[in-house]
C-alpha cells in the first residue's frame, strides 16, 4: 500500500501546481484526475456523444482507453493511443469535462483507474472527490480553496499568458458556474471530506501552500 495524499478543491485553487510541487519534494507520483475527465470530455466532444444517452456513454466508457504515462516525471495523458496532454487544456475541454463528470458511468470508469494507481504507489492525487470517494483512507487529506475573486484572477492570468482573450468578469462567472456544477451534481459532488484539512490559498504563494501541506506529512516535520 502506498502513502496517499488526497487534494480536493474548486477550479483555480492552485491544486495542480501545488500538488505537483508537493509530489516533487516527496518524490511521489502526481496524479491529475481532472486530466482524465478532460480526456473523456474530448472524446465525447469529438464523437458528438449525447451525454444524456446512457447506452452511448456506457459503450464509450467500455471501449475508450484513457491512461497516464510519465515523461521525465511529467504526466502525459493518452486517449485511444493519442497524447492529448495539450488538447485537454482548453476552456471547451474543461466545460466538457465538467459535464461528463456528472455522468455515473464516466465516474465509475475513472475512479476505478484512480484507485488502482494509488494502490501500489506513493501518490499525490488531486481532483474533486479524492478524499471522499477515490481514496477515503488517504493518509493525508487536504481541501484546497481560495476566494472566487482570487481564483478568477489566477485563471484570467493563465489564459492571457497562453495568448487567449480573457475578461476578468467573464472568467469570474465561468469559475462560479463551474463551482456550482461541481458542487451540485448528484454523483460525488465536490465537498470537503470531514477529515480533510482546509488550506485557503487566497493569501499564499505556491511555496507557502506546498509547505502547509508538507507539514501534514509525518516524516517531513
Which of 66, 77, 129, 199 touches ligand DC (CB under 6 A)?
129
Q: Which is nearer to ligand DC, 89 or 215 (CB)?
A: 89
Total residues at interface with ligand DC (CB under 6 A):
15
With contact defined as beta carbons under 8 Å apart, do 117 and 77 qualify?
A: no
Q: Which lies closer to ligand DC via its Cβ, residue 144 or residue 210?
A: 144
Whole-angstrom CA distances from 16 to 12, 19, 24, 59 are: 9, 5, 12, 30
One residue of 37, 43, 44, 143 binding ligand DC per CB under 6 A? 37
Torsion of CA 100, 141, 200, 188, to 10 degrees: 30
Question: Which one of 7, 13, 77, 97 is in contact with ligand DC (CB under 6 A)?
Answer: 97
- Residue from 26, 29, 34, 118 touching ligand DC (CB under 6 A): that is 34
33 binds ligand DC (CB under 6 A): yes
Site for ligand DC in 139-178 (CB under 6 A): 178
The reply to whether 23 sits near ligand DC by the rule CB under 6 A is no
Q: How far is the CB of 65 from ligand DC (least distance, A)?
A: 19
Q: Which stretch binds ligand DC (CB under 6 A): 77-85, 128-136, 147-155, 209-217?
A: 128-136
When the beta carbons of 151 and 178 are compared against ligand DC, the nearer one is 178
Smallest gap from residue 50 Cβ to ligand DC (A)? 19
- DSSP 8-state class, residue 134: I
Helix ranges, the chain (H): 15-26, 33-46, 54-63, 91-100, 104-119, 148-161, 168-184, 206-214
C-alpha cell of 55? 447506452
Cα–Cα distance for residue pair 19/35, rounded to 1 Å: 14
Residue from 19, 23, 39, 101 that binds ligand DC (CB under 6 A)? 101
State how beta strands 140-145 and 4-8 pair.
parallel
Give SS3 for 68: strand
Closer to ligand DC at the Cβ: 94 or 151? 94
Q: 167: burial class by Cβ within 10 Å (0-12, 13-18, 19+)?
A: exposed
Using CB under 6 A, list all residues that contact ligand DC: 11, 33-34, 37-38, 94, 97-98, 101, 127-130, 178, 182
Amino acid at each position: 500500500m502506498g502513502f496517499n495524499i488526497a487534494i480536493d478543491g474548486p477550479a483555480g485553487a492552485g491544486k495542480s501546481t501545488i500538488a505537483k510541487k508537493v509530489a516533487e519534494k516527496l518524490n511521489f507520483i502526481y496524479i491529475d484526475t481532472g486530466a482524465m475527465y478532460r480526456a473523456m470530455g474530448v472524446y465525447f466532444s469529438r464523437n458528438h456523444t449525447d451525454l444524456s444517452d446512457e447506452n452511448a456513454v456506457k459503450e464509450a466508457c467500455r471501449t475508450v482507453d484513457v491512461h497516464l504515462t510519465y515523461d521525465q516525471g511529467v504526466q502525459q495523458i493518452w486517449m485511444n493511443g493519442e497524447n492529448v496532454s495539450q488538447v485537454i487544456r482548453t476552456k471547451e475541454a474543461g466545460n466538457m469535462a465538467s459535464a461528463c463528470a456528472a455522468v455515473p458511468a464516466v465516474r465509475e470508469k475513472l475512479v476505478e483507474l484512480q484507485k488502482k494507481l494509488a494502490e501500489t504507489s506513493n501518490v499525490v492525487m488531486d481532483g474533486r472527490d479524492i478524499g471522499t470517494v477515490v481514496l477515503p483512507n488517504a493518509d493525508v487529506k487536504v481541501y484546497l480553496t481560495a476566494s472566487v475573486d482570487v481564483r478568477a484572477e489566477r485563471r484570467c492570468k493563465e489564459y492571457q499568458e497562453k495568448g487567449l482573450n480573457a475578461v476578468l468578469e467573464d472568467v469570474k462567472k465561468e469559475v462560479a458556474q463551474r463551482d456550482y456544477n461541481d458542487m451540485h451534481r448528484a454523483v460525488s459532488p465536490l465537498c470537503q471530506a470531514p477529515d480533510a484539512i482546509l488550506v485557503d490559498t487566497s493569501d499564499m504563494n505556491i511555496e507557502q501552500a506546498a509547505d502547509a501541506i508538507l507539514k501534514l506529512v509525518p516524516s517531513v516535520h
